[in-house]
Every structure is written in structure tokens, then in C-alpha cells.
């Protein structure tokens, strides 16, 4: 267990013991329920005050499931374990405001083009695919791999580090694997290094055509970006070896992204919040919904399904009810972390066309970054 995890464990243990002491052996059920709620709220707030927010998130991601598993052990102190779970879960639900201390600016084009799949296990074997979402994208890759929302998170970390470390807005920035992991709120280690490196290579190797990259107001023409999300990666390897790489490397962003960053076509996301979203679809929807400045966002389900690669040539890749179930589950996850207050479906009762999802954000998540361009109308190249 890391030093950070040990710090959280120490405080969580102490607070859980206090919780058990204050809530056990109360004869009046109504009074017991009230004291339980008040104590849980008070002590979960105390936990957030006692440890750094990022440390709490990392601990929860690494240890929450292990705590629940301990309840199956008959010799364990079940009261204490349940108290730890209750305090930890409440602290994580209260964290909406804390998320906003760790936000990063993301380019709107990255979120609103249908770049990232929420169904990676059903990756296409085709080397060229077209995904029609909020903004359509054409993807070319020799291996047939897809970009998932894990790659989206890595790309978000790179964007954040570019803003923090870059000098004079140059395209290149020097990074370490540990830098990216820290932005993501993940623990340091070789397994995560390998996954980060694989994601970096996918981000660089996969060619994308952003169909609505830029259009000026009242302009006769609009720009279409044939590009990659990462222009170049420079690794350093010890001379005479085949695999002795430094953990430090240099990334060069494509010029279109650098220019967009300079001009402020951005919105805020919390990469730490994404750690609490277990499904790819919930992570992707968080990005997409965040890219809209309005509190309520309405999307047709056919657009949403296409955006996250649940359609192939306009046809669902699975039964429609399964897609709806995944969307509902994703919305429930977004509610659980406090990002949205509510969601509702409207329109037709069957199918995906003319059937809509409206999500209403928690007001504290409304973006304050200025948008320099209006959302252009959809066009199609092919």
C-alpha cells in the first residue's frame, strides 16, 4: 500500500470507529436513523477534510471493492467494515465540489467528434470506418483498433499537461509516464506505464478526419481536418539496447489542436471524476455532455448510439433494448457522482430514431470557459 493509501486508511479507520461508537446500541429506531444520517454526513465531511481529495479518489479506486469482499469473511469486524464503506461512499458522493478543483481544459472538437468507442470489445476489423454522432468522424487504422474512452482520458491528461508545462504555446511538451498517471489519478507502476504507452501509440497511429473542425461566421468555406490526435512521440532508448527506454518522452500535438487551444475552443472536465465512472459509456457521455454550455442537454438516441460506435452503417450492433439499458446505466452512474441531477426519455417509445434523452446537469458543473465558435451544422464528406 502506498504512503498516500496508508494516510487515507489511517483516517478512514479512525473515523469509522468513531461512527460505530456513536451509532450502535440506540433503542429508539427513529432516533437511531436520524443520528445515523447526521453522523454519517458529519464524518464523511471530516474524511474529506482530513486527506487530499486526489488521494481519497485513488484509495477508493484501488480498495473499495476489497472492502466489500471483506464482508464475506466471517472473522472480520463487519460493523467496522460497513462503517468504512458507508463513510467512504458518502465522502465520494459529497465530492462534486472537490472534483472541480482538479479540472482540465479539453478541446471541444475532441469531445464532439465521434472519436471514442464505448464498445471496445466489439471493435471493427475494418481499416476504415465512419462514425456518425454529434459530429461525424472518419477513422483509418491499419490494425482495425478503436479509440476508447481510456484513450480519451489519456488525451485529456496530455492536454492538461500541455497547458501546465508548455512554454510559449509550442506544439511539443516533455512528459513522464508518472505525469500522465498523476493527472488521471492512478497509481504509479509498470503495468500502468505499459497501458499508457499503448494508448499513446493508438492516439498517434489512428488517422481521423474531423468533419467539422472549424468554420468562421458567414464564411463560404469551412475547414476539414485530416489529422491525428498526436502528431509525434519521441522516445529515448539506451544505445545498443532493444527495450531500455527512459520513462521520459516528448509529445508533439498537431497544429490544429495547438491553434484551437490558443483560441480557447475549450470546456472543463475532471479526469478524477472519470475514475468513478466504471462504464466506457458513462465516461464518454460525461465528456460529451460537458462540452455543451447549457444546463440541460437533449440528444436523439440514434445520434448518441452512433457517437459511441453502437451503430454500423446506421444499424444497431446489438438489440436496441440493450443499447437503451446501457444508456440508462450510464445516466445512473452520472447521477451517482453528482454530475447530473436527473435524466428523462421522450419521443417515440420504440427504436432509436425520434427518441430523445435529456440530461440536466448539477449547476456546479456548468462550464465557465468562453466558447469562441458556434456549433456548425453537420456536413458529410463521403
> Rounded mean pLDDT of 187-211?
85
Q: Is pLDDT at 245 greater than 80 in this prediction?
A: no
Residues near 74 by beta carbon (within 8 Å), at least 6 away in sequence: none
Residue (of 132, 2, 14) closest to 84 by Cα position = 14
> Rounded mean pLDDT of 83-108?
80
The residue count of the chain comes to 382
Q: What is the DSSP letter of 208?
A: E
Q: What is the DSSP string of 117-129?
A: ES-GGG----SEE
pLDDT at residue 35, rounded to an integer: 85
The DSSP element (H or E) to which 356 belongs, if any, is strand 355-361
Residue (of 307, 331, 255) closest to 112 by Cα position = 307
Q: Is pLDDT at 332 greater than 60 in this prediction?
A: yes
pLDDT at residue 369, rounded to an integer: 43
> Rounded mean pLDDT of 55-70?
80
CA distances from 307 to 71, 99, 120, 130, 150 (A): 40, 26, 13, 10, 16
Task: Grade residue 356 by pLDDT with cuts at 50, 70 and 90.
Answer: very high
Cell of 110: 475532441
pLDDT at residue 370, rounded to an integer: 40
pLDDT in tens, 274-305: 888 889 999 999 999 999 999 999 999 999 99
Q: Say how far apart CA 236 and CA 379 lie, in whole Å.
A: 42
Q: Is pLDDT at 193 greater than 50 in this prediction?
A: yes
Hey, which of 11-25, 28-42, 237-251 has the most confident mean pLDDT?
Answer: 11-25
Percentage of the chain modeled with pLDDT above 90: 29
pTM: 0.72
pLDDT at residue 280, rounded to an integer: 93
> Rounded mean pLDDT of 99-118?
86
**Does residue 144 or residue 255 have the better pLDDT?**
255
Cell 493508438 sits at which residue? 202
Cell 459509456 sits at which residue? 281
Residue (of 371, 144, 350, 357) closest to 266 by Cα position = 371
pLDDT at residue 221, rounded to an integer: 55
Residues near 110 by beta carbon (within 8 Å), at least 6 away in sequence: 152, 155, 159, 229, 257
The DSSP element (H or E) to which 32 belongs, if any, is helix 29-50
Comparing 69-83, 180-194, 212-226, 315-329, the range with the smallest average pLDDT is 212-226
Alpha-carbon torsion (92, 115, 151, 175), positive or negative: negative
pLDDT at residue 337, rounded to an integer: 81
281 and 318 Cβ atoms separated by less than 8 Å:
no
Where in 242-310 does DSSP place strands (E)? 248-252, 266-270, 296-300
Comparing 6-20, 35-49, 226-240, 309-323, the range with the smallest average pLDDT is 226-240
> Rounded mean pLDDT of 107-134?
80
pLDDT at residue 347, rounded to an integer: 95
Percentage of the chain modeled with pLDDT above 70: 86
157 and 180 Cβ atoms separated by less than 8 Å:
yes
Q: Is pLDDT at 373 greater than 50 in this prediction?
A: no
> Rounded mean pLDDT of 77-91?
88
Q: Say how far apart CA 199 and CA 208 lie, in whole Å.
A: 15
- Give strand pairing partners of 297: 359
User: What is the maximum alpha-carbon separation in the chain?
Assistant: 76
290 and 362 Cβ atoms separated by less than 8 Å:
no
Residue (of 114, 139, 120, 119) closest to 287 by Cα position = 114
Amino acid at each position: 500500500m502506498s504512503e498516500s493509501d496508508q494516510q487515507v486508511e489511517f483516517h478512514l479507520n479512525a473515523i469509522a470507529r468513531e461512527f460505530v461508537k456513536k451509532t450502535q446500541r440506540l433503542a429508539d429506531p427513529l432516533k437511531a436513523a436520524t443520528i445515523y444520517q447526521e453522523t454519517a454526513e458529519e464524518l464523511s465531511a471530516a474524511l474529506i477534510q482530513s486527506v487530499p481529495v486526489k488521494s481519497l479518489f485513488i484509495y477508493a479506486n484501488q480498495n473499495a471493492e476489497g472492502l466489500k469482499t471483506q464482508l464475506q469473511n466471517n472473522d472480520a469486524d463487519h460493523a467496522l467494515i460497513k462503517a468504512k464503506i458507508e463513510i467512504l461512499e458518502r465522502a465520494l458522493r459529497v465530492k462534486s465540489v472537490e472534483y472541480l478543483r482538479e479540472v482540465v481544459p479539453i478541446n471541444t472538437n475532441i469531445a464532439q467528434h465521434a472519436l471514442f468507442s464505448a464498445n471496445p470489445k466489439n471493435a471493427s476489423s475494418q481499416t476504415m470506418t465512419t462514425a456518425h454522432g454529434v459530429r461525424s468522424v472518419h477513422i483509418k487504422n491499419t490494425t482495425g483498433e478503436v479509440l476508447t474512452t481510456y484513450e480519451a482520458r489519456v488525451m485529456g491528461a496530455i492536454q492538461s499537461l500541455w497547458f501546465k508545462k508548455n512554454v510559449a504555446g509550442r506544439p511539443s511538451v516533455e512528459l513522464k509516464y508518472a505525469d500522465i498517471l498523476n493527472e488521471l489519478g492512478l497509481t504509479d507502476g509498470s503495468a500502468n506505464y505499459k497501458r499508457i504507452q499503448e494508448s499513446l501509440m493508438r492516439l498517434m497511429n489512428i488517422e481521423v478526419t474531423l468533419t467539422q473542425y472549424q468554420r468562421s461566421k458567414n464564411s463560404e468555406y469551412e475547414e476539414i481536418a485530416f489529422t491525428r490526435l498526436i502528431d509525434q512521440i519521441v522516445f529515448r532508448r539506451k544505445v545498443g539496447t532493444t527495450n531500455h527506454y527512459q520513462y521520459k518522452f516528448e509529445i508533439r500535438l498537431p497544429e490544429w489542436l495547438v491553434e484551437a487551444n490558443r483560441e480557447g475552443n475549450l470546456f472543463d472536465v475532471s479526469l478524477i471524476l472519470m475514475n468513478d465512472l466504471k462504464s466506457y459509456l458513462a465516461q464518454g457521455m460525461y465528456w460529451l455532455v460537458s462540452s455543451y454550455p447549457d444546463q440541460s442537454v437533449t440528444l436523439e438516441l440514434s445520434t448518441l448510439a452512433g457517437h459511441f460506435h453502437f451503430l454500423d452503417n446506421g444499424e444497431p450492433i446489438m438489440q436496441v433494448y440493450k443499447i437503451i439499458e446501457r444508456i440508462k446505466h450510464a445516466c445512473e452512474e452520472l447521477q451517482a457522482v453528482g454530475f447530473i441531477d436527473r435524466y428523462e426519455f421522450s419521443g417515440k417509445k420504440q427504436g432509436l430514431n425520434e427518441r430523445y434523452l435529456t440530461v440536466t446537469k448539477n449547476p456546479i458543473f456548468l462550464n465557465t470557459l468562453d466558447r469562441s465558435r458556434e456549433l456548425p451544422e453537420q456536413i458529410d464528406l463521403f
